[in-house]
Amino acid sequence: LFSAVAVGRAQVQQEPSAETTEGTGVSISCSHPNILSNELIHWYCQLPGQGPAFLVNSHKGSKELTDPPGRLSVAADRRSSALWLARPRRGDAAVYYCTVGD
């Protein structure tokens, strides 16, 4: 469902894939240990045959995601984050990218 992206000097790491069944929540984690204090964590979704579409970003804490329903949670030290898809549908199967930057 998702893959890793490296952005400049800020190495971003993700697991190569995740699976769930329709309607069963899934968490997609991202590690960004070299993030700078002013940088945001951005998440994108790329459906088959389409370009990446912005989902949500955050500096810290938790932020709700409306479409698809879910939540982005950023660890207290900001070195990792997780995108929680609460009720994924078949149409949400995609590549989910985590990036960091201004």
Mean pLDDT of the 23-52 span = 92
Q: What is d(CA 75, CA 2) in angstroms, rounded to the nearest whole number?
A: 20
Confidence of residue 102 (pLDDT cuts 50, 70, 90): confident
Cis geometry, peptide bond prior to residue 68 (ω within 30 degrees of 0): yes
Average pLDDT, the chain: 87
Whether 4 shows a pLDDT value over 50: the answer reads: no
At the topology level, CATH places domain 13-101 in Immunoglobulin-like (2.60.40)
Confidence of residue 16 (pLDDT cuts 50, 70, 90): confident
Task: Write out the H or E segment, with its range, that includes residue 42.
Answer: strand 40-46
Residue 30 is predicted with a pLDDT of 94
Residues linked to residue 99 through DSSP beta bridges, in sequence order: 42
51 contact partners, CB below 8 Å, separation of at least 6: none
- pTM value? 0.83
**Domain map (residue ranges) of the chain:** 13-101
SS3 call for 90: helix
With contact defined as beta carbons under 8 Å apart, do 27 and 41 qualify? no
